[in-house]
Amino acid sequence: MKRSTLYSILLYPMLVALLLCTAPPLMSAAKVGDAAPEFTGAASNGKTLHLSDYRGKYVVLEWHNNGCPFVGKHYNSGNMQRLQKQWTDRGVVWFTILSSAPGKQGYVTASEENDYLAKMQAAPTAALLDPTGEIGHLYDAKTSPQMVVINPNGVVIYDGAIDDKATTDLNDVPGATNYVSRALEQAMAGKQVETPATRPYGCSVKYGDSTH
């Protein structure tokens, strides 16, 4: 056997091991029971907000796309606005998150989002602009609307659909089981969330890459 071939055989496993040791760890998306990933978001009102600033409070994350008929169902019926007001009045922090990339359905500028919030009389704590999809990927957001609930200890206690009626029919809202309200009610009462995860429905989040 040639000396160069022998060196290659001996060195190859060492190089592979070295690469594995030095490669940065892959970031896995948060799941129910995990600590909620920290993020910094640019709000449409011009403020920069950090999730960690709201430790000690319940936080709801709502993925939004104003061009999606599933989202339209909850806004045109007034359902989403009622939920936002109901829970923010009880001290819950509510972030509407827009992860559509520029040129994609649902992408808006800060002023356009502020106009939309005023027109729809929406009442989130803030609307966070996420055109790079960074926040969306941290939580593996797949659809609009997709809902995440974080408890005061910073743990994800619910992730999934807003309710059990995966339709665009406004008439389905009154009879639906709202998973977000149920999770908050149970958690605030000191109970375990009975349905901590469901399959989200809606329009796919319009990321700028092809990972979703």
Contact 81, 74 (CB under 8 A): no
Instruction: Give tens-digit pLDDT for 64-84.
Output: 999 999 999 999 999 999 999
Q: What is the pTM of this model?
A: 0.85
Task: Give 30's DSSP letter.
Answer: P
Which among 156, 72, 60 is positioned nearest to 119, based on CA atoms?
Answer: 72
Fold that domain 27-204 belongs to in CATH = Glutaredoxin (3.40.30)
Contact 93, 176 (CB under 8 A): no
Q: Is 133 left (phi over 0), alpha (psi -120 to 50) or beta?
A: left
Instruction: Give tens-digit pLDDT for 136-185.
Output: 999 999 999 999 999 999 999 999 999 999 999 999 999 999 999 999 99
